[in-house]
Amino acid sequence: MSNRPSKSNSASQRVRAASNAGKGRSSNMLWVGIIAVVMVVGVIAVVATRGGGSPGGGAASPSGGTVVPNGNLDNGPVQVKGAGLPQMPTAGPDTAVGQTVPIVAGAQFDGTQLNITGDGQPMVIIVLAHWCPHCQKEVPLVQKWLDEDGMPTDVKLFAVATSNSSAKPNFPPADWLRREKWSVPTIVDDKDNTAGNAFGVSGFPYFLVVDKEGKVVYRTSGEKTKAEFDAILQAARTGQALGA
């Protein structure tokens, strides 16, 4: 076998060889690009899942409201303007009826500000605890009713997530409420349960009914039926306590 170099290729052969080599490099670059895009999309998905909590936060709800936003604030800043209400009694007349409800300023699960105030409209304030079995039963029922009937336009609905603790079941409250597609604007209470105490909470779930003048109409706690929830909304509209 000769050690002499082979005969040089023709000009056309060299062009074809260069073209084929270029095609090979282009194909390789295309696959590298595809793989890179897939990896970037995967990383974004993982980051979104880890950082945003349960999916669906902030999305439109069938109720006409918005699902509580993504974020896992467990204890928020809370400020109260006005005198707090006395704790709801277990029996006898409710001395809070007719009193002005304090304005509570706080934050939602993503840290955005939320103020609980009627501004001339009646309100219903629902106070919840993530570990309360009655709340866990009531939240999906209330949300189902809202999805079927629509968010009321003449009564403001607010909620307070209070008594939050990682040592108790069903934590964190944000993930729980997002799983239920909860669309009621919700304040996250602080470690001292300042918002719950300001509203005189004595049991969960707790419903505070307020007329358009900002006065307490009625308070109740425990699981409610659809008829009872409708009556609570009507009490806020009319300013008349249930049974009056």
Segment 225-242 shows an average pLDDT of: 95
37-57 residue pLDDT tens: 333 333 233 233 333 444 489
The model scores a pTM over 0.85: no
Q: Give the residue among 30, 51, 117, 113 at the shortest CA–CA distance from 76.
A: 113
- Average pLDDT for residues 175-186, to the nearest whole number? 98
pLDDT in tens, 109-125: 999 999 999 999 999 99
CA distance linking residue 68 with residue 8, whole number of Å? 74
Q: How confident is the model at residue 9 (pLDDT cuts 50, 70, 90)?
A: very low
Least confident range from 146-160, 202-216, 230-244: namely 230-244
Q: Give the contacts of 57 (CB within 8 A, at least 6 positions apart).
A: 67, 68, 69, 70, 71, 109, 110, 174, 178
